[in-house]
């Protein structure tokens, strides 16, 4: 089970964090300015080098949209992640009672998923510390994150 916490320095930033599922596949999550993150996200800077590595990955396949895409939105960032083999999720605040809850929805999924072992050693070490136990991205279009009681 993943422990979620508030990382206040992430407030207002739309940054990307990464995780590995039980199959070793990699996903990228955009925060949409939310601060509820897995405990393994130590700072907003911890994924900078990994993001640079992801941008250099070759195109591995196609990307399939997992939700209706309206004409007003820009989805190319998620699509670019998915064609490189990453499952691409976006965050939104869940409405309701305490504790704080966040919904992570798959925007695009890859036709050919990248595995953590496909990354060079420094990036692979970062990913190894970012496991979401009990999750398989290929069969999990929605993840729920619950924060500590308020």
What are 117's two structure tokens?
């072992």
Q: What is the pLDDT of residues 126-148, one digit of tens each?
A: 999 999 999 999 999 999 887 55
Among the listed residues 118, 97, 109, the one whose alpha carbon sits nearest the alpha carbon of residue 136? 109
- Measure the CA–CA gap between 29 and 132, rounded to whole angstroms: 12
Can you give the pTM of this predicted structure? 0.89
Torsion angle, alpha carbons of 62, 63, 68, 69, to 10: -90
Which residue bears the tokens 């820009």?
74
- The pLDDT, as a whole number, for residue 131 is 96
Q: How far apart are CA 104 and CA 95, in angstroms?
A: 13
pLDDT tops 80 at residue 81: yes
> What share of the chain in percent tops pLDDT 70?
89
State mean pLDDT over 34-50: 87
């Amino acid at each position: 089970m993943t422990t979620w916490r508030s990382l206040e320095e992430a407030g207002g930033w739309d940054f990307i964090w990464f995780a590995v599922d039980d199959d070793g596949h990699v996903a990228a999550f955009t925060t949409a300015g939310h601060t509820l993150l897995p405990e393994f996200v130590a700072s907003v800077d911890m994924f900078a080098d990994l993001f640079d590595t992801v941008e250099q990955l070759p195109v591995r396949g196609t990307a399939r949209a997992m939700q209706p895409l309206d004409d007003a939105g820009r989805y190319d960032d998620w699509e670019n992640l998915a064609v490189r083999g990453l499952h691409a999720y976006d965050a939104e605040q869940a409405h309701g009672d305490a504790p704080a809850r966040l919904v992570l929805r798959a925007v695009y999924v890859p036709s050919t998923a990248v595995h953590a072992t496909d990354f060079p050693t420094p990036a692979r070490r970062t990913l190894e510390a970012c496991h979401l136990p009990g999750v398989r991205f290929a069969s999990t279009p929605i993840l729920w994150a619950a924060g500590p009681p308020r």
